[in-house]
Structure 1
């Protein structure tokens, strides 16, 4: 059984879609998938479906929804997808493949590759993971508990976008990166690391005035909407572009200085890349 939650909820068996029924059953299934391999109490499922105004028959209607899902899975040849466990229901590990779990595994492998200096492999795995997202997580299932559970996967996606861009800068893909970052920066205008990565890619591509425009727009939004100034790293990046810092000059590999663990990772990854490629840096 395959479930897809990184976008509208979908289910299938060997590529054939499974009809999940109406909205109530889909909400119940979504709540179980967000807590995969953990028991989800019936009371929580009631809260997911009806909030603080459940009908007197709520527990019975949850049982009916689960029964309908089990019938749909059984008809598709998968009988043991939802277990009854105290105090509710569970989708056990091994009963289904979930795209979110696959994405998380790929991102973990990409991070290990990056830390070990295997930058092309890291870039490939980040891209494979990000390709699993088809839109907002559980799109169309508008309930507070579902939306709260989906936030974890949205944060993972954004972190992967940032880390993938970091790797791409190390690989000298600044020109290709510009188009890939414009959308995420527009969708998440207060996320300063994303904005800084776009500024760096633009400056490396020989477009410093546009990089500074990106900074000014971010500063304007922060001031107007939140009453804040950009953080120190973004301000330092702006100054680096104004001063024509070597790390933001066109064609420069690597990433602008970041302190602590991220900086140590960059230096390790870059030194390993240079050691494995004698011609690295000549362009």
Structure 2
């Protein structure tokens, strides 16, 4: 069992239940599956855990075309064919053409590492099942060379999901699960203070009021998250928007709304709601 303890960091506001989950995964030596709205800091968590524990970080950002084998290793047949045509002596050793994947790199790290498998739900439904054995046993075989690669130290595996598709039950049983709830107002203030320590408190309060009003609108395709709030405040501060201007603009389209709403359906919905409010007055 691991003796490492994550207590948060100066750059990442972690709630007590999130700290508990990270440390439970460390203690149990199980993958930590993190779900939550986009923009709630799932990916950043792995970076900050690695920094706080002084561990190397290996990142595997999953796409729709990603295959589980790519995280282990791949055989570069094209390079071997080209070297063979050029008469290279190294072509006789197939090991020269085995490309190490992120899991292999993490397994061979000389110290305990943090391994991030980011947005696992983007891949094919079989992707998580294809990693069950490797994540359980912390080892895998390289078919081409008959090697067995075994982890020198069991890494802390942090897996993120945006809930785009359900994950297999067999995979879920092997994980410690945590859902990052959207931060309450007090936690948002603490997050803002990390990114904008010099922000005027009255501006932050006015921005949070408008931000909360936006998030309460029913029917939004994508609610603004913490990352959007930070970007929006960056713009407000850069343009010296006064708190009074924000308060006066309540009931109107917020300045720099493109930092908060990311598609035409949501901006159109907001425009219609504002027009309806004006007509009632």
Q: TM-score, normalised by structure 2?
A: 0.29
If each structure's helix is expressed as a fraction of its own residues, which one has the higher value?
1
Q: TM-score, normalised by structure 1?
A: 0.29
Higher relative contact order at CA 8 Å, sep ≥6: structure 1 or structure 2?
Answer: 2
